[in-house]
Structure 1
């Protein structure tokens, strides 16, 4: 397990509870030492004792020695650099599953493409779903999707495929894994849902309630579907755990850092003061740029993501940006009906501050 934050630690605990020997790599030597001495990740999952079979280390060579599979939970912005550091120590041909989400900003690559470029010869997949780390670590009933491309041989003998082997390793107790061969669809769902969650947080923080959140979740799902389909994934995948499931969870609670950031901004708190001034990494903040840049390159309209990006990174006023979002031309649903009509009242503002 590469990454000893809350989610990496929670997944490591799932695997250890299921009888797997787990090496948990932490970037900080002091964190690795504390985990080994106390059997607890005090920094990220305080109060939860770890099962046996889990050893932490800050040495990549030690973490990767003799392993049969790698799961990566690292910020999307550092993934490429970390893969380069891992390359000399990787056992040949072992599968790599990404439990992090996003789109690389410079290239517009999905994270699996980044890993494939830096770690050639390794099957690359993803683990994604509606999974808050603390609940997973406490063994609450939780479900997620494991996605890898399936070769012809994998289809003949699915039980030997990387996706099925990873799903079996993760499944046990409260954790239930499903299998998918649509890696693109699973990755798009994971990347886009964080941006939509910031939008939900912004509007909730501004005082709007369930109608608004339901509209953003539903139309956000459509943005995910369009991007996934254009990139070669399946729209159906986006309605599953890694898409609509993860989106619903992330947009429903300020336990999500993405929802929490949006909520604070919606309340009028300036970005440097959010999270009480702590330097919290929020993937949707980074991916608001990379997702919209990718959408521009391939011609996919993503107005909710565009709105979030404008507020976060282009100095747009939150009230004006969301008023403009709601005043866009009238469209059809589903998109198969080709329709676009001018909005009848584009200049009528949303009633911020009067709820």
Structure 2
């Protein structure tokens, strides 16, 4: 007798959540998407499209949607979370009673909680009481629009329980999406969170027409400061050189599809933070997480000059010209 397919509940029906749901369904996993709005759930169920994000892309007919969290989580092997990091705690508190005793929670989130400085996996553990062996992270260079088009992509599934990571790897492996496994949750999460701030900086450089050299400097030195922080907090350096570190950083900093780079480009072209927020129209985690990322850095004496500069710029403490000067006029030193 063949084993029934794995079941996944994907919360929510945003850009990356929809892409993740498509990956899982294409891999043969039974998927239910939790949408906040009835019209989105109805459209997914009837027309097999998400009109809010990908109105012209067909979703697998096996993929269903609901606005009821209990229905979405009924019998789920995996709860896949793709919601803004700052709303995770409140939403998860409401959903926790419906999470099964064996459900593995997979975080797709790339942000740090502002009030606490906690990574998403830490918030999940605190709110749900679930052990770390049932909390995984999926992170990599995963631009949702390219994935929806079936273009090749890869990511790392990190979980302290290697068997859980391998099971989810199987649940999301398709002809166009290649998942790797690992155990370094800290490295995967920080690689995903800090790259958003570096992408803001790279977008600003692009908007100011500072040139490709400047963008390359920011990507390279951004990886250096990400690695410094992550390793101090217990991550493995090789993780930051992999998909969730370097891969994440390159895709987010280089692509016009990246909302963080786009937000930065708006700032570099002279928009205010409020104007850039309105123009971007989607959650930009780098804006939300910059200050929170600095908290552990300061506590451990880790220098993060790019992140410091972006945080100051976002709070209108310095101008674009002053931000550029602050980075270029730092004391010279050995590269490391």
Q: TM-score, normalization: structure 2?
A: 0.94
The match for 2:41 is 32
- Listed as ranges, the matches of 1:186-335 within 5 Å are 186-274=188-276, 277=279, 279-334=281-336
The match for 1:169 is 171
Question: Once the 2 structures are TM-superposed, how far is the Cα of residue 93 of structure 1 from its aligned partner?
Answer: 2.7
Whether the 8 Å CA contact 1:93–1:121 is kept in 2: the answer is no
Aligned equivalents of 1:197, 1:118: Cα separation in 2: 30
**1:67 and 2:69 equivalent?**
no
Aligned equivalents of 1:314, 1:230: Cα separation in 2: 29
Aligned equivalents of 1:321, 1:278: Cα separation in 2: 22
The match for 2:118 is 109
The match for 1:87 is 96
- Structure 1 residues 161-193: Cα deviation after superposition (integer angstroms, max 9, x where no partner): 110001111111101000011110000100000
CA RMSD of aligned residues (A): 1.3
Structure 2 portions without partners, runs of 5+: 1-9
Whether the 8 Å CA contact 1:288–1:309 is kept in 2: the answer is yes
3-state DSSP class of the match of 2:312?
helix
**Largest Rg, 1 or 2:** 1
Aligned equivalents of 1:277, 1:300: Cα separation in 2: 33
Assess, with a 3 A threshold, how the Cα gap between structure 1 residues 277 and 237 changes in structure 2: closer, same or farther. closer
Range with bigger deviation, 44-53 or 269-278: 269-278
Question: Once the 2 structures are TM-superposed, how far is the Cα of residue 275 of structure 1 from its aligned partner?
Answer: 6.0
Aligned equivalents of 1:277, 1:172: Cα separation in 2: 34
3-state DSSP class of the match of 2:180?
strand
Q: 1:142 aligns with which of 128, 141, 153?
A: 153
**1:130 and 2:122 equivalent?**
no
Whether the 8 Å CA contact 1:98–1:126 is kept in 2: the answer is yes
The match for 1:121 is 130
Instruction: State how many pairs are aligned.
Output: 325
Whether the 8 Å CA contact 1:142–1:176 is kept in 2: the answer is yes
3-state DSSP class of the match of 2:124?
helix
**1:5 and 2:7 equivalent?**
no
Question: Once the 2 structures are TM-superposed, how far is the Cα of residue 292 of structure 1 from its aligned partner?
Answer: 1.5
3-state DSSP class of the match of 2:114?
coil
The match for 1:179 is 181
Aligned equivalents of 2:277, 2:11: Cα separation in 1: 26
3-state DSSP class of the match of 2:267?
helix
Aligned equivalents of 2:31, 2:329: Cα separation in 1: 52
The match for 1:20 is 29
The match for 1:340 is none
3-state DSSP class of the match of 1:307?
helix
Aligned equivalents of 1:146, 1:15: Cα separation in 2: 13
Whether the 8 Å CA contact 1:197–1:258 is kept in 2: the answer is yes
The match for 2:58 is 49
- Structure 1 residues 15-37: Cα deviation after superposition (integer angstroms, max 9, x where no partner): 11111110101122221112212
Aligned equivalents of 2:34, 2:309: Cα separation in 1: 37
Whether the 8 Å CA contact 1:128–1:241 is kept in 2: the answer is yes
3-state DSSP class of the match of 1:285?
helix
3-state DSSP class of the match of 1:56?
strand
Whether the 8 Å CA contact 2:198–2:219 is kept in 1: the answer is yes
Range with bigger deviation, 287-296 or 104-113: 287-296
Question: Once the 2 structures are TM-superposed, how far is the Cα of residue 99 of structure 1 from its aligned partner?
Answer: 0.6
- Listed as ranges, the matches of 1:340-351 within 5 Å are none
Structure 1 portions without partners, runs of 5+: 155-160, 335-355
Aligned equivalents of 1:241, 1:76: Cα separation in 2: 21
Aligned equivalents of 2:217, 2:312: Cα separation in 1: 20
